[in-house]
C-alpha cells in the first residue's frame, strides 16, 4: 500500500516561524482573530463552569465565548450541555444561571419547552405545523460535547476532538493527587481587560517579570533560593544578609507567605498563615538552608494534620512535594490556569471578547470540610481592570497589560523576543495555536497541547511541527 496522503495545511498569517520571536500582529490583527474564531475555539476544550455552580438536578449555567452560547445543566442523567437555541426559530433559551427543575427551558418567543435532558416537551399549536417539521429527534436541543475534570465541566464544539484528558494529561498527573476536584469557591472576581486574550495569559507564563512587576515578592530573601536572572544568577540568597538564628528564618518565611497571600488569596490562604504563626517557637537547625527546609517540612505536616482533623480531605503535602511536585502555575491549553500552593489554589480563565479585549476571571479555591455546605457560586459582574479592590498581584499585572497592548502597535515593533530558557511556554502554546489554524491532525495537536499544558518558566520545546 502507498503512503498515507500528507494532510493539506492552511496558510496562517503572522505564523510563528522562529520559536523565539512572536509576531506582534497576532495580538491585534482582525483577520488573525477571525481565524481563531473559526479554527481554534470550536475545536478545543473550554472550561465552561465549575460543577458547584450547578449542584442540584435542574441547575444550569450559560457559558459564552465569542458568538457561541452553551447551556451546561445538571440533569437526571448527569451533566449535559446543549447549544443555546430554540429549535423553532433560534431564540436563545437561557442567559446567566438558574434552575429548570420545575418548568424546564421555555422559549420567551413562542413558549416551546424542553426538560433538563434537552427533550422537547411542548410545542404551542402543534396542529399548525407540518409533521415533518415536528420530528422529535429534530426538536430536541442539540447536544454539545461535555467532559468533566477537576471539579469542572469542559465543553467542545467538535465531536471528533480527542478526549479532554488526552489533551491536558500532564497537568492532571500533578494536580489530581492534590484533590483538585474537591476544591470549592471562596471568592470569584472578573474584569474586562483592554488586552488581547493571549497577551493576558502570557503574563502568567513566566516568573521573569516578578522583580519589576511584583517587587514585594522579589525583595524578600529566602535562604537557599537562588536568582535565575541578572548579575546574581546562580547565587544563593541572601548575598549580604546573615540569618543569625532560626527565628529569623521563621520570620522571613511567614513574611513571604503573608505578602503572597495578600497579593493572591487562594495561592497562600489565611489558614496556612495561621498554622505558620502557631509554629514560631519550634526548634530548627542552625544552618539557614536546613532551617528553612525543616520549617516548611513541618509546616506541610501541620497543615495536613490540622485540616484532616477538621474533616478536610487534605492530601499529604510532604508526600506531594517529594513525589508529585507541581509548578506554582499550571496552564491547561487553551485558556485555564491553576496555581497550587499547600492545599488551596488560585485559578484563572481567560476568554476573548474582541481582538484587543478579553474577559479575565480569578478564583480563590479552598478545600473545605466534606460536610460543610457552601453557597452556589454565581458569576460576578465584570469590573474595570484598574479596580483598586483586586488582589495586589493581578492588579500589578493588569497595570502592565494595557500598556503592552498599546506598545505592540508601535512603528518598528514587529515581534516579541522570547528567552529560549524561561519564556518557552509562550512559544509552545502560540505554535500550538498555529497548529489549529493550519488544520493539523488530531494526533499532532494532542502532542502539542500536552507540551503546552505545562508549568511556569519552561524552555522552548519541540511540539512536533
The string of pLDDT tens digits covering residues 29-54 is 999 999 999 999 999 999 999 999 99
In this chain, the answer to whether the domains covering 21-44+169-206+333-452 and 47-149 adopt an identical fold is no
The string of pLDDT tens digits covering residues 78-100 is 999 999 999 999 999 999 999 99
Indicate the pLDDT class of residue 240, thresholds 50, 70 and 90: very low
β-bridge mates for residue 338, sequence order: 330, 347
Identify the weakest region by mean pLDDT among 152-156, 224-228, 277-281, 446-450.
224-228
Q: State the average pLDDT over residues 338-357.
A: 95
Indicate the pLDDT class of residue 210, thresholds 50, 70 and 90: confident
Give the number of C-alpha atoms closer than 13 A to the C-alpha of residue 116, restricted to the C-beta side: 22
Share of the chain above pLDDT 90, in %: 78
Residue 224 has pLDDT above 80, yes or no: no
Indicate the pLDDT class of residue 4, thresholds 50, 70 and 90: low
Measure the CA–CA gap between 237 and 327, rounded to whole angstroms: 21
Distance of CA 73 to the CA centre of its chain: 21
Residue 6 has pLDDT above 80, yes or no: no
Where along the chain do its domains lie? 21-44+169-206+333-452, 47-149
The string of pLDDT tens digits covering residues 110-153 is 999 999 999 999 999 999 999 999 999 999 999 999 999 999 99
Q: What is the 3-state secondary structure (H, E, C) of 434-459?
A: HHHHHCCCHHHHHHHHHHHCCECCCC
Q: Enter the DSSP assignment of 79.
A: E
- Pairing, β 97-99 against β 59-65: antiparallel
Measure the CA–CA gap between 333 and 156, rounded to whole angstroms: 13
Identify the weakest region by mean pLDDT among 38-47, 57-66, 238-247, 395-404.
238-247
Integer-rounded Cα radius of gyration of the chain: 24
Q: What is the pLDDT of residue 238?
A: 47
The string of pLDDT tens digits covering residues 185-205 is 999 999 999 999 999 999 999
Indicate the pLDDT class of residue 234, thresholds 50, 70 and 90: low
Question: Which CATH superfamily, name and number, covers 47-149?
Answer: Rieske [2Fe-2S] iron-sulphur domain (2.102.10.10)
Q: What is the pLDDT of residue 459?
A: 97
Residue 233 has pLDDT above 80, yes or no: no
Sequence-separated (6 or more) residues with CB below 8 Å from residue 460: 19, 20, 418, 420, 423, 424, 427, 428
21-44+169-206+333-452, CATH topology level: Naphthalene 1,2-dioxygenase Alpha Subunit; Chain A, domain 1 (3.90.380)
Kindly report the average pLDDT of the chain as a whole number. 92
Give the number of C-alpha atoms closer than 13 A to the C-alpha of residue 340, restricted to the C-beta side: 26
Amino acid at each position: 500500500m502507498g503512503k498515507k496522503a500528507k494532510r493539506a495545511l492552511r496558510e496562517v498569517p503572522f505564523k510563528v516561524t522562529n520559536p523565539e520571536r512572536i509576531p506582534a500582529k497576532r495580538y491585534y490583527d482582525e483577520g488573525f482573530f477571525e481565524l481563531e474564531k473559526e479554527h481554534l475555539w470550536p475545536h478545543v476544550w473550554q472550561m465552561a463552569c465549575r460543577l458547584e455552580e450547578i449542584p442540584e438536578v435542574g441547575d444550569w449555567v450559560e457559558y459564552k465565548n465569542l458568538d457561541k452560547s452553551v447551556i451546561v445543566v445538571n440533569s437526571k442523567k448527569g451533566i449535559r450541555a446543549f447549544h443555546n437555541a430554540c429549535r423553532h426559530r433560534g431564540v436563545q433559551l437561557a442567559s446567566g444561571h438558574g434552575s429548570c427543575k420545575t418548568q424546564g427551558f421555555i422559549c420567551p418567543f413562542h413558549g416551546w419547552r424542553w426538560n433538563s435532558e434537552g427533550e422537547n416537551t411542548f410545542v404551542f399549536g402543534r396542529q399548525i405545523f407540518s409533521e415533518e417539521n415536528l420530528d422529535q429527534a429534530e426538536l430536541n436541543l442539540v447536544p454539545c460535547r461535555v467532559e468533566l475534570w477537576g471539579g469542572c465541566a469542559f465543553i467542545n464544539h467538535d465531536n471528533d476532538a480527542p478526549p479532554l484528558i488526552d489533551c491536558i494529561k500532564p497537568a492532571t498527573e500533578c494536580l489530581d493527587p492534590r484533590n483538585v476536584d474537591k476544591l470549592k469557591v471562596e471568592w470569584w472576581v472578573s474584569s474586562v481587560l483592554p488586552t488581547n486574550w493571549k497577551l493576558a495569559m502570557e503574563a502568567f507564563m513566566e516568573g521573569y517579570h516578578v522583580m519589576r512587576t511584583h517587587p514585594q515578592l522579589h525583595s524578600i530573601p529566602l535562604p537557599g533560593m537562588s536568582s535565575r536572572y541578572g548579575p546574581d544568577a546562580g547565587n544563593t540568597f541572601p548575598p549580604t544578609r546573615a540569618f543569625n538564628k532560626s527565628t529569623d528564618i521563621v520570620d522571613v518565611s511567614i513574611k513571604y507567605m503573608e505578602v503572597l497571600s495578600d497579593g493572591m488569596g487562594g495561592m497562600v490562604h489565611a489558614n496556612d498563615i495561621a498554622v505558620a504563626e502557631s509554629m514560631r517557637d519550634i526548634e530548627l537547625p542552625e544552618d539557614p538552608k536546613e532551617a528553612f527546609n525543616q520549617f516548611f517540612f513541618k509546616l506541610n505536616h501541620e497543615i495536613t494534620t490540622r485540616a484532616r482533623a477538621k474533616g478536610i480531605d487534605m492530601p499529604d503535602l510532604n508526600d506531594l512535594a517529594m513525589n508529585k511536585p507541581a509548578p506554582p502555575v499550571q496552564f491547561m491549553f487553551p485558556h485555564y490556569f491553576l496555581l497550587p500552593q499547600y492545599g488551596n489554589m488560585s485559578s484563572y480563565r481567560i476568554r476573548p471578547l474582541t481582538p484587543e479585549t478579553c474577559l479575565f476571571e480569578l478564583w480563590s479555591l479552598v478545600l473545605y470540610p466534606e460536610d460543610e455546605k457552601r453557597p452556589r457560586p454565581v458569576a460576578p459582574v465584570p469590573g474595570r481592570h484598574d479596580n483598586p479592590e483586586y488582589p495586589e498581584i493581578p492588579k500589578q499585572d493588569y497595570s502592565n497589560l494595557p500598556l503592552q497592548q498599546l506598545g505592540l502597535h508601535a512603528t518598528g515593533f514587529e515581534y516579541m523576543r522570547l528567552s529560549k530558557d524561561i519564556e518557552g511556554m509562550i512559544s509552545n502554546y502560540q505554535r500550538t495555536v498555529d497548529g489549529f489554524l493550519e488544520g493539523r491532525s488530531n494526533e499532532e495537536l494532542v502532542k502539542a497541547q500536552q507540551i503546552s499544558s505545562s508549568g511556569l518558566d519552561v524552555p522552548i520545546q519541540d511540539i512536533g511541527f
